[in-house]
Amino acid sequence: MFYHDKQLQYKVRVDKPNPVFARMLQQAIGGIEGEIRVCLQYLFQAWGSRGPVKYRDMLLETGTEEMAHIEMLATAVALNLEGAPVSMKDEFAKDSVVGAVMGGMDARHILSAGMAAMASDANGVPFNGSWIVGTGNIAANMIANVHAESSGRVLATRLWEMTDDSGMKDFLAFLIARDTMHQNQWLAVVEELGGMKGAFPIPNSFPQSQEVQDFSYAFVSTNIAGDSQAMGRWSQGPSIDGKGEFKLVKAEPLGGEPQLSPPDPRGHAQTEEMMGNIGGIIEKVKDALS
Amino acid sequence: MFYHDKQLQYKVRVDKPNPVFARMLQQAIGGIEGEIRVCLQYLFQAWGSRGPVKYRDMLLETGTEEMAHIEMLATAVALNLEGAPVSMKDEFAKDSVVGAVMGGMDARHILSAGMAAMASDANGVPFNGSWIVGTGNIAANMIANVHAESSGRVLATRLWEMTDDSGMKDFLAFLIARDTMHQNQWLAVVEELGGMKGAFPIPNSFPQSQEVQDFSYAFVSTNIAGDSQAMGRWSQGPSIDGKGEFKLVKAEPLGGEPQLSPPDPRGHAQTEEMMGNIGGIIEKVKDALS
Amino acid sequence: MFYHDKQLQYKVRVDKPNPVFARMLQQAIGGIEGEIRVCLQYLFQAWGSRGPVKYRDMLLETGTEEMAHIEMLATAVALNLEGAPVSMKDEFAKDSVVGAVMGGMDARHILSAGMAAMASDANGVPFNGSWIVGTGNIAANMIANVHAESSGRVLATRLWEMTDDSGMKDFLAFLIARDTMHQNQWLAVVEELGGMKGAFPIPNSFPQSQEVQDFSYAFVSTNIAGDSQAMGRWSQGPSIDGKGEFKLVKAEPLGGEPQLSPPDPRGHAQTEEMMGNIGGIIEKVKDALS
Amino acid sequence: MFYHDKQLQYKVRVDKPNPVFARMLQQAIGGIEGEIRVCLQYLFQAWGSRGPVKYRDMLLETGTEEMAHIEMLATAVALNLEGAPVSMKDEFAKDSVVGAVMGGMDARHILSAGMAAMASDANGVPFNGSWIVGTGNIAANMIANVHAESSGRVLATRLWEMTDDSGMKDFLAFLIARDTMHQNQWLAVVEELGGMKGAFPIPNSFPQSQEVQDFSYAFVSTNIAGDSQAMGRWSQGPSIDGKGEFKLVKAEPLGGEPQLSPPDPRGHAQTEEMMGNIGGIIEKVKDALS
Amino acid sequence: MFYHDKQLQYKVRVDKPNPVFARMLQQAIGGIEGEIRVCLQYLFQAWGSRGPVKYRDMLLETGTEEMAHIEMLATAVALNLEGAPVSMKDEFAKDSVVGAVMGGMDARHILSAGMAAMASDANGVPFNGSWIVGTGNIAANMIANVHAESSGRVLATRLWEMTDDSGMKDFLAFLIARDTMHQNQWLAVVEELGGMKGAFPIPNSFPQSQEVQDFSYAFVSTNIAGDSQAMGRWSQGPSIDGKGEFKLVKAEPLGGEPQLSPPDPRGHAQTEEMMGNIGGIIEKVKDALS
Amino acid sequence: MFYHDKQLQYKVRVDKPNPVFARMLQQAIGGIEGEIRVCLQYLFQAWGSRGPVKYRDMLLETGTEEMAHIEMLATAVALNLEGAPVSMKDEFAKDSVVGAVMGGMDARHILSAGMAAMASDANGVPFNGSWIVGTGNIAANMIANVHAESSGRVLATRLWEMTDDSGMKDFLAFLIARDTMHQNQWLAVVEELGGMKGAFPIPNSFPQSQEVQDFSYAFVSTNIAGDSQAMGRWSQGPSIDGKGEFKLVKAEPLGGEPQLSPPDPRGHAQTEEMMGNIGGIIEKVKDALS
């Protein structure tokens, strides 16, 4: 269960409110790279954890911390919205700066939320629960978490570049630091689980003898024209998981043409479909008649 | 641009059609772990690639291959649907096997698609473009791709366990093999880009001197009761990226209580909100009057 | 910011795991009546609160409590999934009970989550951030919260009826009790804010003299055939907000027919649309020619 | 069944078209606070009504009226779009007012709809059927309706503040009046159903003796630091429903630590997860070896 | 504006309630082929109509009729749900028919709606406003409407096949008849607008001289292996719009390789991406060192 | 299966990058009128095709071509984003052109994608798999495809009008030409299948004798006030499918008032609902008491 302290985890200061920046910060709240996603992702992974309890505990810790990150970002949005234009009245035509601000901000920050953060991204697209990944496989989960923190840190550095508000820069520098830690943290679990050679291929509990092994370490090239430069570490040499040797093969069809049964009449395909290649017949008749 | 061959990349055989399994296969088509996602993800990453052309070319190759995987899965769904019940008529009450099948299959396979695959997951939830990750950072993209292939391979092994149709098992064993390769492939790029110590923290182009460095390698514990077992590789020792030393800190508030301005009257908060702590006043008056 | 205790707020016990019930419990996690919604709704309302601090603090308290409710429900789902069928193999055809279970459970609990809760509803539809209401008006927010707790308590009582697992019944009886409290809690704020006569119409800060007052307390009847029984407290007598008198009026058009300008040619409507009522002309020409 | 009159319910006049305002009006059409939602919500509640016919009839009346509101708003959007820029050509760089307008309007009003309203909100996010609440409990439905009309009236007053077009202000003043009525109307039903003391807790048909009654009227405080100001009408005194006495309790865990079974091997968790606390073992071995 | 009659447009009778069929009927209410879609599509097209008023009026007529179709389907769902199991209790394990019913029905019909229709499809996926097409071009709209009525009629015939309840069959036979009419109705408008040769290509107001005319009537073949049978009416002979001659061309690239600029450093791509083809360099260095 | 050539199908040139136009182009990628939709729609129709193989082959050809269209549009977006502002810094306040650009562009093109295309529409709303129509009826599918190409060509002509970049105009003129072809192509199949008189009503395999034939060719008028101008080709004369005669009928209710059973007590409707018309009783008692 959970407790709170009314104070924030880190200082959130806005020197000069900017409603367009408020909108951009929404990406870090309700976007796919955002904090609602990581918070719920880590907590759901913890709540479903069936392996060693240390991982459950760790996920609970960091999921709980992320809750505080949503809180700080929501506060940053509210502060950036202070003084935003709430009327287009006559000044809109006259003053293009007001227009630009109003054009660039999220109108729903005014209309729906009354100058507060929402659970949506920078385009007002709502947070979506499908983004919360918990596979029941700890290694797959850790990679999902490294991914979330990587795209999250890329976003945070871009927000940092976007503004020169020193309060916002300092706050984002804190989030960037936490993303550094969390990338390392999830990678540390992968290392504990055996690292590149032990944890992969994920899941490592499936017997590779059951794979169609000719294709387990083959880079398949679909290029049919000119030189491809798609060669690299992945097209020759030992595989990263240490269990095979990379090779290069040209794409080729091994499966033949698929053959589906004709439609069930009760599915009400068009009559012509159910009469075989009637289309061709009709065409020929027409040709003959014309 | 793209070309096709009417034949399939690999043999898709169904010994005994099973409409409930058809529904489950949909997760591998239109689910977040599915092939539409990886196909478009790799292609969009290629099309937006601004770095070394070798990575663009490689992403094009594999994105194109994934298109063939969607095709095979769609064929597998169509084959598994052959002979599915298209009427509930009286047999429903009498024959619980029919009922079970009809209950467990996706009714839209009959009603909407006429016994064919759809662009949705095992619950009929449509594919969603938000799942396609392309960050403009090659390392972040590679981790996103390893993540996609990890959750995808976990899914494929579960589908393999779910069925004992030897055709389906063989086909899934091919997909599992390709997921093995693709996990290795994206990890090979990470290795090329410097591996754990060179590529991380992602993005590695942000100067870490700008982070709030006290928190860059600190595991923050939010636990306030009893023993936490959340200690591990991530709470002490050198960080995985080789740029810091893990440490453990207890969560504490550094940010004070947030202070927001009162509402703008034109935003039509409730009158009492705009009058300060009027709630308390009203309550006291009521107490006095009662 | 937030802290956690590894223990649960209330006992979650499952006497006999039931994967179909696990699916139903998902509605209380990721559905529109569920706990993710209320948790984030109360917290976002707190974080955007610009009125008396007492309401901010109260919302933080209860939002934090709801986090523990998600946790308990996620645990209940995981426990109900233990022992669920993970293979359809041959027993599917033979054993209709297995089939019924497999048909009725959420296949993604096996395929995607590895026997754990997900952030979706009983149909696997993902949680959606649009459900999180925070208007910037405390009274509108409180009514939104009473609504959430009302539909939530209705759901919980139905889940209670659905099962006879004594562990689950006890757990749900706890959630039902909390919903009782929370309905009362939000109504208590409405009372503090003036109750039916003071808080309504929401927002009470808009001057009613600006409304088209003829219609402010009129029940408009659109019925044009037979007797309507739609009369009641709302069609006569003083209004609930004490600021008007209910009356009954028949619907009638006061606005005339709308007149839109013809299309801009660069918007590429069909040529005929841009030539006025050409459709009629063409028709007449055809009539003349036939 | 339904009939129509080509005329509008109320006059919709736009003195000076403004495509940015057209976009904002979309929130009142296809947003969660909008008229499509209330129209369908009242009608679906009517169509599913199993209680006294008077409520069914009343819901039909008002649902039908709301249809006319969508119509008027759609007309208002079309009128506000007249004369909007349909080309960025060279003037974009030169004329920042055009730029601001184009930046602030919904480009899909040009590209997709040809200068007409769409079934989406102010950010172009489509209307979503999940917003339509019909619980099968009349009191829960009425509260949902008061909620819809409250957030709707807050929105309408903000739109009214946003513009100084006298035609639009008059039209919005009509909508605001209707929202006043509808708030009162749904509250009138609640009064008929027994009001605060009779209708609550919703559903009032569940025997409260079955709740975990210690928690039915307890305000649970999760605050662990400093003074909370979260006290009020809800933390002491008689409950609003008249069936209990409010009290304040500190949050505490009553449920112990959850214990989940280890993963089923066929679910392909990582091997290490299935071997118990192997993570700790591996770590110790590594320590010993280093 | 709109009026209603409490009576239904056509008789809705259910001889033997079937909650699984109730779920299937949802596809015709809130699915993409369903009646909410056509109702709102026709009305939005009417409200945005800027061409001859006869089309606006006609769209209003039929949009209003569709409202009555939603009503009848919602009634049919409610009737089919009567007597559905609302508890899994002990009989679930014993009685596989109950299990099959419960597995096949939409649990939210019990849990969320209290035995009533919802605004979602047969899988519980909510209605989505993006499905409502109104392009501002009357011919494009008519084709969208023929499409909606075609997929709608296909759905209705499959529902008719699915059941042998004579009441439901009669009701569906009415809907099928209306779909027959509406397909014809929208095609009649296309005929009025010039038919195949006059209305196409849509929009017919764009000067075809501005197209890249070499490709305006060319069937492009991407097949690169074996015989394609993709020849037909579309690969030779006069085009359907009468404005060109079909021809067959093999796909070939005319556009060269795309060249994108390197990333802006402030976008924080990975450092190696910004250093040109550094990947290759690193690889070579590694090769040299190994 | 599929192959690729690194070169583009047609030249994509941008003379002057424009990030606002990049956003608009997104509608043609990830919007409902866009190329991801048609690509997957044609391919899924091919993969599920159970009729004459010539249609399957043809759908594969064109679906594969559309893949190249997504690629070109994604390239066009990336090129239009070059040089876009990635910081709001101080110039925002000073330079309204920068502000207008930033307001009008999709911030996620910077924040999330690093100056590349995304799988979403012009408002950042993600592509949705529900838009992919494949009904299992070839004629219904062809009409769906004509619809997709009609709304797609309308969109493309509007994008063409929007810009005066000669590179973009040339590229769009190519897409417009392909849409011309594809409209003709799908109509050619309809002609092959019998044209207006043979293919309709879709599905033509359902026996029309089973329809409620009184309504199969009746234009139902719901208008109850003033003159309707809704007469035309559809209200008299032979039907387009040649199987009936259009007629005009006034809407009238044939179905009576629906009668639903009272709620099941275990569904926890409000007590008053389950007691019959208790609302009226309560009201009368109140009247008597007042």
Query: pLDDT per residue over E160-178, tens digit each?
Result: 999 999 999 999 999 999 9
Name which of F121, F261, F269 is nearest D136 (Cβ-Cβ). F269
Mean pLDDT in residue range C26-34: 98
- Which residues in chain B touch residue C194, judged by CB atoms under 8 angstroms apart? 272, 282
- Chain B residues with CB inside 8 Å of F120's CB? 129-130
Residue F34: pLDDT band (50, 70, 90) is: very high
Cβ contacts from A onto B, under 8 A: 360
Give dist(CA C220, CA C251) in Å, integer: 5
Q: Do residues C170 and C13 make contact, with C-beta atoms less than 8 angstroms apart?
A: yes
Give the SS3 label for residue B181: helix
Q: Which of C232, C233, C279 sits opposite F232 (nearest CB)?
A: C279
Which is it for strands B245-250 and B218-221: parallel, antiparallel or unpaired? parallel
pLDDT computed for residue A277 by the predictor: 47
- Look at residue B207 in the predicted model and tell me its pLDDT: 96
Cβ of A192 and B110 within 8 Å? Answer: no
Contacts (Cβ under 8 Å, ≥6 apart) of C106 = B123, C22, C23, C26, C118, C122, C124
d(CA D28, CA C241): 24
Strand partners, D223: A4
Query: In the structure, what pLDDT confidence band is assigned to residue F276 with cuts at 50, 70 and 90?
Result: low
Q: Closest to F215 (Cβ–Cβ): which among E86, E178, E215?
A: E178
Is the pLDDT at E278 greater than 60? The verdict is no
Q: Who among F140, F239, F253 is closest to E151 (CB)? A: F140
Would you state the pLDDT for residue A86? Answer: 83
pLDDT given at position C286 = 59
pLDDT at E92: 55
- SS3 state of residue D132: coil
Shortest alpha-carbon distance between residue C221 and chain D (Å): 6
- Cβ proximity of F139 and F133 under 8 Å: no
Cβ-defined contact of E150 to F139 (cutoff 8 Å): yes
Average pLDDT over residues F145-160: 98
Inter-chain contact A96–F96, Cβ cutoff 8 Å?
A: yes
Residue F181: what residue type?
M
The phi and psi torsions of A281 (rounded to 5 degrees) equal -65, -50
pTM: 0.94
The verdict on F98 touching D (C-beta cutoff 8 Å) is no
In sequence order, what are the beta bridge partners of E46? none
Q: Does D217 touch chain C (CB under 8 A)?
A: yes
- Residues in C 134-193 with any Cβ partner in A closer than 8 A: 134-137
Is the CB of residue D171 less than 8 Å from the CB of residue D10?
yes
Cis peptide before C201 (omega within 30 of 0): yes
**Taking every pair of C-alpha atoms in chain E, what is the biggest distance, in angstroms?**
86
DSSP 8-state code for residue B122: T
Say which residues have a Cβ less than 8 Å from residue B171's Cβ, sequence separation at least 6.
B10, B11, B12, B13, B72, B76
Q: Given CB atoms, is F48 within the 8 Å cutoff of chain D? A: no
For the stretch A82-123, pLDDT in tens is: 988 888 775 555 566 667 777 789 999 999 999 999 999 999
pLDDT under 50 in chain B at which residues? 277, 279
Q: Give how far the C-alpha of residue D121 lies from the chain's centroid of Cα atoms, to the nearest Å.
A: 12
Going by C-alpha positions, the residue among A129, A36, A135 that lies closest to residue C119 is A129
Token pair belonging to F260: 């639903």
SS3 state at B128: strand
Q: Which pLDDT tens digit goes with each residue over D245-275?
A: 999 999 999 999 999 999 999 999 999 998 8
Instruction: Give residue-wise pLDDT tens across range A261-288.
Output: 999 999 999 999 988 545 455 555 566 5
Residues of A in contact with D31 (CB under 8 A): 108, 112
- Closest by CA to D197, choosing from D237, D239, D161, D135, is D239
Of residues A279, F139, B4, the one with CA closest to residue E232: A279
Strand C2-4 vs strand A2-4: parallel, antiparallel, or unpaired? antiparallel
**How large is the average pLDDT for residues F132-150?**
98
Question: What does the block give as tokens for D129?
Answer: 């059927």
Q: How confident is the model at residue F287 (pLDDT cuts 50, 70, 90)?
A: low
- Which chains reach chain C with 3 or more Cβ–Cβ distances below 8 angstroms? A, B, D, E, F
Tokens 């061709």, residue located: A280
Rounded distance between C-alpha atoms, residue D156 and residue D172, angstroms: 6
pLDDT digits (tens, 9 = 90+) for A24-56: 999 999 999 999 999 999 999 999 999 999 999
Please tell me which chains touch A, using 3 or more CB pairs under 8 Å as the contact test.
B, C, D, E, F
The b/e string for A228-246 (b: 16+ C-beta within 10 A; e otherwise) is: bbbbbbbbeeebbbebbeb
Residue-wise pLDDT for D183-214, tens only, equals 999 999 999 999 999 999 999 999 999 999 99
**F202's tokens:** 């879709």
User: CB–CB of C47 and A5 under 8 A?
Assistant: no
Selection from F237, F248, F239 nearest residue F200 by Cα: F239
pLDDT of F155 higher than 50: yes
Q: Rounded mean pLDDT of D63-73?
A: 98
Q: Which of F233, F266, F279 sits opposite C161 (nearest CB)?
A: F266
Q: Which of D93, D125, D193 lies nearest to residue F270, judging by beta carbons?
A: D193
Output phi, psi for B31, to 5 deg. Answer: -80, 170
* Residue type at position F162: M
ipTM of the complex: 0.93
Cβ contact, residue pair B40, F119, below 8 Å: yes
Mean pLDDT value across chain D:
92
- DSSP assignment letter at E264: P
Helix axes A278-289, F166-192, angle to 10 degrees: 90
Cα–Cα distance for residue pair C3/A65, rounded to 1 Å:
8
Q: How high is the mean pLDDT of chain A?
A: 92
SS3 assignment, position D126: strand
F74 touches chain B (CB under 8 A): yes
For residues F264 and E86, the answer to whether their CB atoms sit within 8 Å is: yes
Strand F218-221 vs strand B218-221: parallel, antiparallel, or unpaired? unpaired
Span C233-260, average pLDDT = 96
pLDDT for C214 beyond 60: yes
Alpha carbon of C77: minimum distance to chain F alpha carbons (Å): 22
| CB count in 10 Å sphere of residue F164 | 16
Contact B219 A75 (CB under 8 A): no
Q: Give start and end residues of each alpha helix (H) in chain F.
A: 19-30, 35-47, 53-80, 91-94, 96-104, 107-111, 138-162, 166-192, 195-199, 271-274, 278-289
Q: Which two tokens stand for residue E138?
A: 């009357």
Quickly count: other Cβ atoms within 10 Å of residue F255's Cβ.
Answer: 19
Contacts of F3 in chain B (CB under 8 A): 2-5, 64
- Phi and psi at A126, nearest 5°, equal -65, 150
D195's tokens: 């009001």
Q: A137-151: per-residue pLDDT in tens? A: 999 999 999 999 999
CA C207 to chain centre: 30
Query: Would the pLDDT of E211 be above 60?
Result: yes
Please tell me the least confidently modeled range out of A117-131, B273-287, D48-62: B273-287
**Average of per-residue pLDDT across E141-163:** 97
Question: How remote is the C-alpha of D258 from its chain's centroid?
Answer: 34
Q: Do C276 and E52 touch (CB under 8 A)?
A: yes
DSSP 8-state symbol, F249: E
The DSSP code sequence of E201-251 is SSSTTS-GGGS-GGGTTEEEE-B-SS-----STTTSEE-TTSSSEEEEEE-
The rounded distance, in Å, linking the Cα atoms of F240 and F143 is 15
Indicate the range of A227-231, B131-135, F52-56 predicted with least confidence: A227-231
Count the alpha carbons within 13 Å of E195 in the hemisphere toward its beta carbon: 11
Q: How far is C223 from chain F (nearest CA, A)?
A: 13
Alpha helix locations (H) across E81-194? 91-94, 96-104, 107-111, 138-162, 166-192
The count of other CB atoms within 10 Å of the CB of residue B197 is 12
Are C3 and B223 an interchain contact pair (Cβ–Cβ within 8 Å)?
yes
User: Tell me, what's the pLDDT at D99?
Assistant: 72
pLDDT at E287 over 70: no
C7/B289 Cα distance (integer angstroms): 44
B166 Cβ contact list (under 8 Å, min separation 6): B13, B15
